[in-house]
Amino acid sequence: MNKRKIINDPVYGFISISSDLLYDLVDHPYFQRLRRIKQLGLADVVYPGALHTRFHHALGAMHLMGLALKVLQEKGHLICETEFEAAQAAILLHDLGHGPFSHVLESVVMPGVEHEAITLVMMKDLNRQLNGRLDMAIQMFEGTYPRRFFHQMISSQLDMDRMDYLNRDSFYTGVIEGSIGADRLIKMLDISNDQLVVEEKGLLSIENFLHARRLMYWQVYLHKTLLCAQAMLTQILHRARELTLSGHELFATPAFTLFLHTKFTLTDFDNQPDLLQSFNALDDNDVWASVKGWASHSDPVLASLCTMLLDRNLFKIVFYNNPPGEDILNPFRERLIASGLTEEHLTYFLVTGETINWAYAKEQDPIRVKMKNGNLVDIADASDIPTIEALTKIVRKYYVCWAKNVSLRG
Amino acid sequence: MNKRKIINDPVYGFISISSDLLYDLVDHPYFQRLRRIKQLGLADVVYPGALHTRFHHALGAMHLMGLALKVLQEKGHLICETEFEAAQAAILLHDLGHGPFSHVLESVVMPGVEHEAITLVMMKDLNRQLNGRLDMAIQMFEGTYPRRFFHQMISSQLDMDRMDYLNRDSFYTGVIEGSIGADRLIKMLDISNDQLVVEEKGLLSIENFLHARRLMYWQVYLHKTLLCAQAMLTQILHRARELTLSGHELFATPAFTLFLHTKFTLTDFDNQPDLLQSFNALDDNDVWASVKGWASHSDPVLASLCTMLLDRNLFKIVFYNNPPGEDILNPFRERLIASGLTEEHLTYFLVTGETINWAYAKEQDPIRVKMKNGNLVDIADASDIPTIEALTKIVRKYYVCWAKNVSLRG
Amino acid sequence: MNKRKIINDPVYGFISISSDLLYDLVDHPYFQRLRRIKQLGLADVVYPGALHTRFHHALGAMHLMGLALKVLQEKGHLICETEFEAAQAAILLHDLGHGPFSHVLESVVMPGVEHEAITLVMMKDLNRQLNGRLDMAIQMFEGTYPRRFFHQMISSQLDMDRMDYLNRDSFYTGVIEGSIGADRLIKMLDISNDQLVVEEKGLLSIENFLHARRLMYWQVYLHKTLLCAQAMLTQILHRARELTLSGHELFATPAFTLFLHTKFTLTDFDNQPDLLQSFNALDDNDVWASVKGWASHSDPVLASLCTMLLDRNLFKIVFYNNPPGEDILNPFRERLIASGLTEEHLTYFLVTGETINWAYAKEQDPIRVKMKNGNLVDIADASDIPTIEALTKIVRKYYVCWAKNVSLRG
Amino acid sequence: MNKRKIINDPVYGFISISSDLLYDLVDHPYFQRLRRIKQLGLADVVYPGALHTRFHHALGAMHLMGLALKVLQEKGHLICETEFEAAQAAILLHDLGHGPFSHVLESVVMPGVEHEAITLVMMKDLNRQLNGRLDMAIQMFEGTYPRRFFHQMISSQLDMDRMDYLNRDSFYTGVIEGSIGADRLIKMLDISNDQLVVEEKGLLSIENFLHARRLMYWQVYLHKTLLCAQAMLTQILHRARELTLSGHELFATPAFTLFLHTKFTLTDFDNQPDLLQSFNALDDNDVWASVKGWASHSDPVLASLCTMLLDRNLFKIVFYNNPPGEDILNPFRERLIASGLTEEHLTYFLVTGETINWAYAKEQDPIRVKMKNGNLVDIADASDIPTIEALTKIVRKYYVCWAKNVSLRG
């Protein structure tokens, strides 16, 4: 056997693929596709280094899972080899169902279909191909495996998914203030009463983790310029679909054409065996190649939006504490019409939206701290420090995006 | 003016864009295109983090140029603001003429056209648009500006281009042994007799730089697996063009179609004003989107090669100290024919090539060391250490790449 | 001139000494003494890497001052060369008056004398030696220089002192969660109305800075084990002085002997010219060499405490939300007496104390944010986020330290 | 059991102490003493960050040993828990016998006694105290344990000692070009025929390791300024001993006094049980405290040298390719006499010496590479690259150190 099993990773140094099953999963076309899907979609309009892929993130999460499981083993918890591998497999595959530009594309071409659901469809398909070797991994992913903590390590407010993506996004954006100290966090993990918990001496580390997460939301995921670019891509896709459905001829890559013509539901994935292959053929390149093709389309709305996005001539944005009413929106409309837009095109160049930053959702499955006396306490109650409480507040903002410098071509 | 002028960079922390001209250059579609062209082409088949773009590299090189010029100013050399900006502009634009997958694509669709030549065409076009504001930058780039050291900082064995790409490639691949210590190198730069030189106390730093460069060649640029992937993409492009020219219908993105049908020369760029725009529309996404489209083409050779590349089912490679003769090649041929290939298809699945690793070319414009007594000496003579001498040797290897696991589809 | 002017620094890469005056200051015995005084005193009992000195910190603060002043210059503020050098000199010298183990030693041998006061005495003495070349630096340090922001950069809640020590302490302890992102913070600085301010887009950076500061207090400066070691050294010094004053013979280094025999006041420093030289001769080595000598002293209290500290057999600690009363202290006393201590020795093995963690003191000179509309606002009011408010709370805790495993030798 | 078992380390993040025996060893006064002995002695005169201790280095080497053993286990080599712990114990204790300022002090106060020999005395003493729990560790250390590779991991040209100290010294000096990529090196280790070997694909990593080692010698261990400071301390100790032996009264710390009066041999350590305790009481603080005391001694030679060292008014140095003869030395002598020195004092202010930089000693136990065909080859033969050959050359230089600015006090 000469399978390559060590992968260079600027974030962790090296990532080891520690079993044949894991190697085969990484090798599978479903997983290789993730090489062509960027983790942060359009974020490189703000952070030119943020080009890392879901492929790399999934490997990183698998790596952290391995570290965490070893910590738990060293603290005396019995985790057998099969469980170890299943947990690594589950986290490795947890993002399989993501399409390109995730929420942007999904909202237009597959509204209502959550990527977690597609992930499960794909995992089950893989499981069939692998003759059931993913049975336990799927149970852990779905939360039906008896030992609950495995699911919490895959999906909770302190899972390996978050740890890797915060770490990795902080690293590649260069927003070092968002660094979460994953190394120390992981050393503080423990299991109590079958739940994933944090040792009391890890309290400050958790606090720091939640702060870093909140900072990453403002600084990266909800960055003004990124919201603008996302709004633009969303409107591009709406327009492209509209033109397609109304019979206009429109260049698109083969993989993309199908999804521009039809809105699919989750049931379609079950009923049409080919659909999964089509979905698997879709990645960032299809979207960019199509947008580039559309930049010279005869429809001035589509062509303008695409050219603006490609040349980074982006929308502008204003934030509000309340949903903006007509009094706020009307001046924007007037300005856009003054610049030559017609009423019917306004909607493509003027967009409203909402952002939510919720560092810690106390109401959900909480982060549990194991006090020195053995008690399990919600992190928000364990800290005698008022800042944690502050992080449980939802911060909601509203915004208006609009094209400041638009001139329709064509 | 509210131009955004500070850019996060994981490598250097922050990069400042320090003048309006530089900002306008960064903002121009010619430069924004570089966002969609990866610096290392296919290298992510080996190093999943190596996704950084020529856009980011160019900014980094501009940043290092700024640092270096400040060091020279602090050492008492007069560099006026116009020169400072021109040198930064020149290095910023030095890779403008790169197409996607640089050497691979150029060798097939524009054989004989060097990217430096296209860079110059584009710089001159930009200069027209900017009413001559790039005059001095172009002189520096071409080497006609009287103060020679500016050109040496842009293009020589110790230029800011190399410093940034070695630094950046080492960082994003995670091959930390390739780190060159740019920070210290730059502090050791000086000018003597109008030439770029290194202070004597920087001798070890230069040695380390040359070693790191050599290591990066073996470990990254000439990595076996990368050579295989490049060989595959080259054969894919050859086949696609062959099919195109022989009249087969072949999907390709609009930007790519033109280049698949015609081989262009440098003169074409001068004679056909539109060609530059077409070239500017071409980026990595066109190649990938086309390769993905071709994976289901009816031609079994094209479809197989594309599927293999997409699923990372790559060629194998063997190295030789001499060009492999028939005695070496024949067994490969027989094996491929045994696996079902016809004679005429052999050439697509069996490739030979040559690699060169030349850490320091003494014969070219040398790296000059300024000894404490003021003398200028070639680095290879300044060092009393035999290792530098060793680095001046050209190390040449030959290889055979072939498809170990091929089965033609269709 | 061949003065060595570039110093390697693991934290910032390189630190440049940019003028002759600064070089002469660094070269002076007053400043060289700081090489022998650790920044964090006893902290290496917890963090073995935390051995950095006040010398290194002072250089680092000078480096950051240089970066910050350049940022301000680039934003159009006129800062002349003399001011630039004076500000760097002032921050370079700001810790000159620190003795070894700062607060611990001061509290015993020079109670009531603040190190800032001695710093000023030493700066003035240096100024005499340098014929007034420090006049402006002293004005900036004292806050009498007309342009207020210079003093704020030397001493305020956002000064270069804090930035460097948080940065550096985080680096050398390995508590990476305490990293403050100084690079970005500094780029956000501005001057408005002669005050040091932060641009609105630096809001999150300031928040992160305050959080990091709070975390460093809990994790490092107020770490339980460090408090224990400090309590032990304090009791050792008390006992040594007591024995000295009561006529026992006691080894001590020449420099230390003087301070063990006499309590000095600030006036003594003015009246006795030699005292400054004696103070300057005192550093960490005197304390450790003496403690080691005392480990074999015939007094069992002194010998036990010293041996315990040297072998890292440390006190234990318990925290309380209120000052511990007799009900809490008595059980400790009984336990210690049961282990063989007499009443009169109790005080050396049972210590109470108080810790304060105050991340942001709104009442003091606030951190000012310059909003996009030009208004200056206190950071606590600028943020619409409740966490900043939380950081303005003083968190006060009380503790009892005691020798869990004591057996008097002798 | 609540033993603290995770230690923050800026170099590796965290170091775990993974067994009770290891914890007890770290806790022992013999090992705690290493907290007070700097790894690089006087190197902070050049690199202010280089204050790390032998304590920290020993922990780091134990950490790397743990990583390396796990790699070997994962490659299928059976290493039982007892062996694992013994190997970690052996490397943890390998520097126990180092005194302060190692070679400098040893050459004066214990000429001919090698620190490895004292290490062994101390390990055996510890073994007695621990009832034989170190039996296997001592066998591994001495090279008598049957499985040879354990000894090679403790002491060879690729041992965990070198890996940690190169890593750590590079980190704390800030000489990042000296970084050896330990992470990757360790992953390439294997065992073949009971020998420690490196996989063929680790060839470049080994080359880089040897280059980094060579660079660290020139840049750090043999740095001109460091050689000067070492020469000064050597002469200080010679003078102090001379004065002591000739009956002058001389302050010294209790621990140091003994060693100034007597020259000890290795046999003394066996015959005098107390000598080990005296040796164990000696650390950097004794030397510095004594040097500071001597700075005001009535002997002008001693006082001058000490003051010069403390104030960093250091000797100058010149290098030669051959041992300097009288023609070279005489001008120095004349110059010193002209500045007021007498003939008999010359020897304290004029010192000659020799440096050796030998990156790879082919003649000694070689670094073995395991080729893909299974053969074991010396690294120098495995590489087809001429640079390795160059590294096997011994580079020898000679120097003269002298006091450029001396004026005898008193």
Q: Pick from D181, D207, D384: which is nearest to B176 by CB? A: D181
pLDDT band per the 50, 70, 90 thresholds, residue C394: confident
pLDDT number for residue D2: 44
Q: Phi, psi (5° rounding) for residue D79?
A: -130, 115
CA atoms within 13 A on the CB side of D319: 14
CA atoms within 13 A on the CB side of A292: 27
pLDDT number for residue A359: 85
* Cβ–Cβ under 8 Å, residues B271 and B233: no
Strands (DSSP E) contained in D245-291 are none
C365 vs C43, C152, C276, CA distance in Å?
Answer: 30, 9, 32
Q: Rounded to an integer, what distance in angstroms lies between the CA atom of residue B180 and that of residue B209?
A: 5
Q: Is the Cβ of A338 closer than 8 Å to some Cβ of chain C?
A: no
Q: Shortest CA distance to B211 belongs to which of D211, A325, C331?
A: D211
Q: Pick from A7, A49, A175: which is nearest to B48 by CB? A: A7
Residues 6+ apart with CB under 8 A from B165: B39, B57, B61
Flag if B8 and A175 touch (Cβ within 8 Å).
yes
Q: Pick from C177, C321, C385: which is nearest to A205 by CB? A: C177
Q: Rounded to an integer, what distance in angstroms lies between the CA atom of residue C228 and that of residue C222?
A: 10
Q: Shortest CA distance to C191 belongs to which of C60, C69, C64?
A: C69
Q: Which chains touch C (3 or more CB pairs under 8 A)?
A: A, B, D
Q: Is the Cβ of C218 closer than 8 Å to some Cβ of chain D?
A: no
User: Of A304-308, C222-226, C327-331, C404-408, where does mean pLDDT reach its minimum?
Assistant: C404-408
Strands (DSSP E) contained in B70-135 are none
Query: If 0-12 CB within 10 Å is exposed, 13-18 middle and 19+ buried, where does residue C369 land?
Result: buried
Strand duo C316-320 + C395-402: pairing: antiparallel
User: What DSSP letter does each residue of C278-343 carry, written as one string?
Assistant: HHHT--HHHHHHHHHHHTT-S-HHHHHHHHHHHTT---EEEEESS---HHHHHHHHHHHHHTT--H
Q: Rounded to an integer, what distance in angstroms lies between the CA atom of residue D206 and that of residue D202?
A: 6
How many angstroms separate the CA of residue A190 from the nearest CA in chain B? 31
* Cβ–Cβ under 8 Å, residues C346 and C337: yes
Report all structural domains of chain C as residue ranges with CATH numbers, in order of start. 6-222+367-384 (1.10.3210.10), 224-355 (1.20.1250.30)
Instruction: Provide, as residue numbers in chain D, all residues whose Cβ is less than 8 Å from the Cβ of B208.
Output: 177, 211, 215
Q: How many CB atoms lie under 10 A from the CB of residue A245?
A: 12
pLDDT number for residue D4: 52
pLDDT reading at C1 higher than 50: no
Terminal Cα distance for chain A, rounded: 60
Q: Is the Cβ of C395 closer than 8 Å to some Cβ of chain A?
A: yes
Instruction: Provide, as residue numbers in chain C, all residues whose Cβ is less than 8 Å from the Cβ of B185.
Output: none
* Cβ–Cβ under 8 Å, residues C303 and C409: yes
Angle at D270 between CA D269 and CA D273, to 5 degrees: 75
B337 vs B306, B331, B349, C394, CA distance in Å?
Answer: 20, 10, 10, 80
Q: Is the Cβ of C311 closer than 8 Å to some Cβ of chain D?
A: yes
pLDDT reading at A281 higher than 80: yes
Strand duo B395-402 + B316-320: pairing: antiparallel
Flag if C183 and B13 touch (Cβ within 8 Å).
yes
Q: How many CB atoms lie under 10 A from the CB of residue C249?
A: 8
Residues of chain B under the 50 pLDDT cut = 1-2
pLDDT number for residue C2: 43
Q: How many CB atoms lie under 10 A from the CB of residue C305?
A: 29
Q: What is the ipTM of this complex?
A: 0.94
pLDDT number for residue B124: 96
CA–centroid distance for C283 within its chain: 14
% of chain C surpassing 90 pLDDT: 78
DSSP three-state, residue D169: helix
Q: Is the Cβ of D8 closer than 8 Å to some Cβ of chain C?
A: yes
Q: How many CB atoms lie under 10 A from the CB of residue A13?
A: 16
pLDDT number for residue C384: 67
pLDDT number for residue A210: 92
Q: Shortest CA distance to D390 belongs to which of B392, B396, B177, B376?
A: B392
Terminal Cα distance for chain B, rounded: 60
pLDDT band per the 50, 70, 90 thresholds, residue A3: low
Strand duo D376-378 + D368-370: pairing: antiparallel
Q: Rounded to an integer, what distance in angstroms lies between the CA atom of residue D260 and that of residue D245?
A: 8
Instruction: Provide, as residue numbers in chain A, all residues whose Cβ is less than 8 Å from the Cβ of D18.
Output: 74
pLDDT reading at C4 higher than 80: no
Angle at B331 between CA B326 and CA B336, to 5 degrees: 120
User: What DSSP letter does each residue of D172-227 carry, written as one string?
Assistant: HHT-GGG---HHHHHHTEEEETTEEEEEGGGHHHHHHHHHHHHHHIIIIIT-HHHH
Q: Rounded to an integer, what distance in angstroms lies between the CA atom of residue C409 and that of residue B165?
A: 65
Q: Rounded to an integer, what distance in angstroms lies between the CA atom of residue A37 and that of residue B61?
A: 27
pLDDT number for residue B151: 98
pLDDT number for residue B1: 39
Flag if C289 and D284 touch (Cβ within 8 Å).
no
Strand duo C189-192 + C13-16: pairing: unpaired
Q: Is the Cβ of A35 closer than 8 Å to some Cβ of chain B?
A: yes
How many angstroms separate the CA of residue B144 from the nearest CA in chain D? 35
Average pLDDT value for residue range C328-350: 94
CA–centroid distance for A237 within its chain: 19
% of chain A surpassing 90 pLDDT: 78
Flag if C289 and D289 touch (Cβ within 8 Å).
yes
Q: Which residue has the tokens 């399978």?
A: A3
With CA atoms as reference, the chain A residue closest to D18 would be A74
Flag if D177 and B219 touch (Cβ within 8 Å).
no
Q: Is the Cβ of C76 closer than 8 Å to some Cβ of chain B?
A: no
Flag if A292 and B285 touch (Cβ within 8 Å).
yes
With CA atoms as reference, the chain A residue closest to B35 would be A48
Q: Rounded to an integer, what distance in angstroms lies between the CA atom of residue A198 and that of residue A368?
A: 6
Amino acid letter, residue B63: H
pTM: 0.94
Instruction: Provide, as residue numbers in chain D, all residues whose Cβ is less than 8 Å from the Cβ of A184.
Output: 13-14
Instruction: Give the burial string for C180-202 (b: 16+ CB within 10 Å, else e).
Output: bbbbbbbbbbbbbeebbbbbeeb
Instruction: Provide, as residue numbers in chain C, all residues whose Cβ is less than 8 Å from the Cβ of B6.
Output: 187
Q: Shortest CA distance to C292 belongs to which of C278, C306, C304?
A: C306
Q: Shortest CA distance to B90 belongs to which of B72, B65, B53?
A: B65
pLDDT, tens digit only, all 410 positions of chain D: 445 589 999 999 999 999 999 999 999 999 999 999 999 999 999 999 999 999 999 999 999 999 999 999 999 999 999 999 999 999 999 999 999 998 898 888 888 888 999 999 999 999 999 999 999 999 999 999 999 999 999 999 999 999 999 999 999 999 988 888 899 999 999 999 999 999 998 998 998 999 999 999 999 999 999 999 999 999 999 999 999 999 999 999 988 999 999 888 899 998 888 999 999 999 999 999 999 999 999 999 999 999 999 999 999 999 999 999 999 999 999 999 998 899 999 999 999 999 998 888 887 889 999 998 889 999 888 876 667 777 888 889 999 999 998 877 55
Q: Rounded to an integer, what distance in angstroms lies between the CA atom of residue A124 and that of residue A136?
A: 11
Flag if B393 and D384 touch (Cβ within 8 Å).
no
Q: Rounded to an integer, what distance in angstroms lies between the CA atom of residue D225 and that of residue D291?
A: 19
How many angstroms separate the CA of residue C83 from the nearest CA in chain B? 18
Q: Pick from C49, C255, C289: which is nearest to D253 by CB? A: C289
Instruction: Provide, as residue numbers in chain D, all residues whose Cβ is less than 8 Å from the Cβ of A6.
Output: 187
Q: Is the Cβ of D20 closer than 8 Å to some Cβ of chain A?
A: no
* Cβ–Cβ under 8 Å, residues C390 and A390: yes
Q: Which two tokens stand for residue A38?
A: 């960027």
pLDDT band per the 50, 70, 90 thresholds, residue C35: very high
pLDDT number for residue D384: 67
* Cβ–Cβ under 8 Å, residues A124 and A138: yes
pLDDT band per the 50, 70, 90 thresholds, residue A52: very high
How many angstroms separate the CA of residue A383 from the nearest CA in chain C? 12
Average pLDDT value for residue range A256-283: 90
Q: Pick from C14, C183, C187: which is nearest to B187 by CB? A: C14
Instruction: Provide, as residue numbers in chain A, all residues whose Cβ is less than 8 Å from the Cβ of C180.
Output: 177
Q: Is the Cβ of D392 closer than 8 Å to some Cβ of chain B?
A: no
Residue B397 is given by DSSP the state E
Q: Rounded to an integer, what distance in angstroms lies between the CA atom of residue A348 and that of residue A338?
A: 15
DSSP bridge pairs for B38: B53
* Cβ–Cβ under 8 Å, residues C263 and C111: yes
pLDDT number for residue A1: 40
Q: Which residue has the tokens 């001493």?
A: C155
What number of residues does chain C have? 410
CA–centroid distance for C327 within its chain: 35
